[in-house]
Structure 1
């Protein structure tokens, strides 16, 4: 039996902010009618949290749900619970039109942490997103591009962001983040 590991097996880099591979993360892509009561109940049961508003993420104690598009959510649960949560979503949805797929091993998650202004600065170097605290608040979720690849970001709190990307580009994204947080590369655009 093989030993399952994350894309970068816990790699981290320390610059003016810290970049860390978050390890194995359970992720389910759920598509369907986001206004349907069955889907809302299934999401609440699976992620232990509320349905997110457009462009936001809703975090619970053991998981979260991010709004990806008008008919798509990213449900995040502990890696070991994915199969059970998929079954629960399927049972909760019954014959209602939906698609729920385990994408855990196709994705990678990073944490970028440190001083809030420096974390925002590092991400702003790589993405066409206004990362100012007034424009990108804690709880907002954004899909965009990070240099040449798609990525999604959200602020966990002041001084910590999360980045999700495809596993196939994990090393590329890690290297981008490592370069963007390299000591001496501070732009100091955002006020401390």
Structure 2
């Protein structure tokens, strides 16, 4: 059996911001009625958090919940725990209208950090990344140039970006170009 590898093998680039592929990440899509008691109970038990508010993330990469849409959450966990979490959630939600799928190997995770991280991200996404408009803990689905992406900030200078694994090289290239030395914008 082959060992899992990340999409970009932990590639990194240092420019006006540090760009890192963050390696393997457990990601589980859960779709269903997020207000249903059974769903809330399973989420609290598996992830350790209640369903987050609209447009928010609860927790972090090691254990967290990302609000994706009114009937969808992205559960974050260690990569090696994802299959067990899916099995547990599917068993507990049996008979409940829901879908639980391990999407870990279909996604890639990047991190952009440093004082110019907001400038780098603003070059690529149609989102207001000013400190008053986008704060740590907010979660957003958007486009990064030509591809869909989801992102959040864990602190004032660190973005985490999720994209499809099939476009990981493209996203990494975008982030490298947007963070190259001499490309400072100074908007934030």
1:142 to 119, 140, 143: 140
In structure 2, how many angstroms separate the alpha carbons of the residues matched to 1:185 and 1:164? 24
CA RMSD after TM alignment: 1.1
Return the offset for 1:40. Answer: 1.0
Task: Give CA deviations for 1:61-88 in whole Å, capped at 9, x if unaligned.
Answer: 8311101011111011100001110112
Matched residue, 2:169: 171
In structure 2, how many angstroms separate the alpha carbons of the residues matched to 1:157 and 1:51? 21
Matched residue, 2:183: 185
Matched residue, 2:31: 31
TM-score by length of 1: 0.95
**After the TM superposition, which parts of structure 1 deviate over 2 Å for at least 4 consecutive aligned residues?**
none
Matched residue, 2:62: 62
In structure 2, how many angstroms separate the alpha carbons of the residues matched to 1:60 and 1:172? 25
Matched residue, 1:106: 106
Return the offset for 1:92. Answer: 2.3
- Secondary structure of the residue that 2:123 maps to in structure 1? helix
In structure 2, how many angstroms separate the alpha carbons of the residues matched to 1:87 and 1:161? 30
In structure 2, how many angstroms separate the alpha carbons of the residues matched to 1:3 and 1:84? 17
- Secondary structure of the residue that 1:3 maps to in structure 2? coil
In structure 2, how many angstroms separate the alpha carbons of the residues matched to 1:47 and 1:63? 6
Consecutive unaligned residues of structure 2, counting only runs of 5 or more, are: none
In structure 1, how many angstroms separate the alpha carbons of the residues matched to 2:144 and 2:39? 31
TM-score by length of 2: 0.97
Return the offset for 1:158. Answer: 1.6
